[in-house]
Chain A
Amino acid sequence: MTATVPRENDQLFFIDNEVIIVKVYPTFQLAKVRYLSSMDTFMVDFHVLQPYAEERSSLSISLLGGVL
């Protein structure tokens, strides 16, 4: 988990996908990012962004049912 505030155009990992920082909102601990292969942006808490890909396996709740 990154402890420092990222900067625009930094390339970091969101889980195991590389993203580019489009904009940072330090007061709100948020960053607007996009995947390298897409121009669509989305918001994340910048503490989730890491300099390396997440390798630990996790199971999405959508696989366990009860989700539309």
Chain B
Amino acid sequence: MILKFIDTPLDGKSWEKLMNSCYRIKFQDEHFTEIPAVHGGDAGIEGFTRKGRVYQCYCPERGYNDDELHDHLRDKMTKDIGKLTSPKYADRLKGLGVPMIKEWHFVIPEYKDSRIISHAETKRKEVIALKNADPSNYDYIDEDFIIVIKQAEDFKVEISRMIRTTLTDMQLNIAIHHTTAAPDWSQCDSEKVENIKRKVKAVRGDGDELDEDYKELVNMYINSYINGMEILKVLRVSYAEVYEDIYMLEQSYKKEVAFKTRMNTNSSINAQLFNEILDDFQKKLEQFKYLNMASIMELKLDLISGWLADCSMQFRSR
């Protein structure tokens, strides 16, 4: 099943700050040194290590199609390699004590196709050719110089750790696009579907299955139930600590929900009780400061859908 995650704001400054922290963690043993872009500029790089790794961050605008994205990545790489090989920047790099450069990292959130990899190879060859043609002026570039493209995924461990322990302002987004289309019924057990239908009726207090609002709500909860299972599976497999945080909260609150709803014998307050649960659960989810608000609401919707589908949440029919 393919989840369509929502594209959320990510600006260049935040990206750069996040990557500086990632490089600091990842290359601490190489004496990572950040270069602030003040007092003479950053020499076209964000930082370097004593083993000759330097890096430059770039975060493209959102909404580019694949061709536009490639064009912007290519142009930025061309411009920054141009800086690397210019005499003005060479003096600055040497003045900062940057050791002989073995690797130049181009650090971006993602790339969509191999064209940027080909472009990197083209630029690498150009740099080597320049060095070979004029070794003394390019003595700061290693003869085995390479260009490496780094994506967010390459720093998954560092990012997950920093986001979860709020060592960064950056939040995580797990919200997906929810359509109003009919669900894929094959992905949902019929008993779960009936549970959801019964409980939506009980909360609404209206038993008309032909009502369009009723049908939309049922479809939405079924979709959220299916999507929710998929999102939690992704978290369980790839983001164990985030998953554990959510799982522990869900398991403990589910017991409260079961108790509250089963103890209620007055069906006329079903809606009120349901709203209290929604409000209270939202407050509990908001403790996860590393999740953006869209993600909090995603979890609220998906987990509530799960409780409607199974036996955790019961409402007496009117």
Judged by DSSP, the binding face of A is: mixed
**Chain A contacts of B160 at CB under 8 A?**
64
| CB–CB A57/B172 < 8 A | no
| CB–CB A48/B297 < 8 A | yes
With an 8 Å Cβ cutoff, the count of chain B residues facing the other chain is 57
Across the interface, B8 reaches (CB within 8 A) one of A15, A27, A45, A67, namely: A15
Across the interface, A67 reaches (CB within 8 A) one of B177, B234, B292, B297, namely: B234
| CB–CB B156/A64 < 8 A | yes
Asked whether any CB of chain A lies closer than 8 Å to the CB of B258, the reply is no
Closest CB in chain A relative to B130 CB, distance in Å:
34
Closest CB in chain A relative to B122 CB, distance in Å:
26
| CB–CB A57/B271 < 8 A | no
- B151-169: CB near A (< 8 Å → 1, else 0) gives 1110010011001000001
| CB–CB A68/B301 < 8 A | no
Evaluate whether A42 and B172 lie within 8 angstroms (CB atoms) in the complex, with A54-B293, A66-B237 already known: no
Asked whether any CB of chain B lies closer than 8 Å to the CB of A10, the reply is no
| CB–CB B180/A58 < 8 A | no
Closest CB in chain B relative to A5 CB, distance in Å:
11
Asked whether any CB of chain A lies closer than 8 Å to the CB of B109, the reply is yes
Closest 9 CB pairs of A and B: A66-B238, A57-B14, A65-B153, A45-B297, A62-B5, A58-B171, A63-B152, A48-B297, A58-B292
- List 14 A-B pairs, Cβ < 8 Å: A27-B271, A27-B274, A27-B275, A32-B180, A32-B216, A45-B301, A48-B293, A56-B171, A57-B9, A57-B10, A58-B173, A62-B3, A64-B156, A68-B2
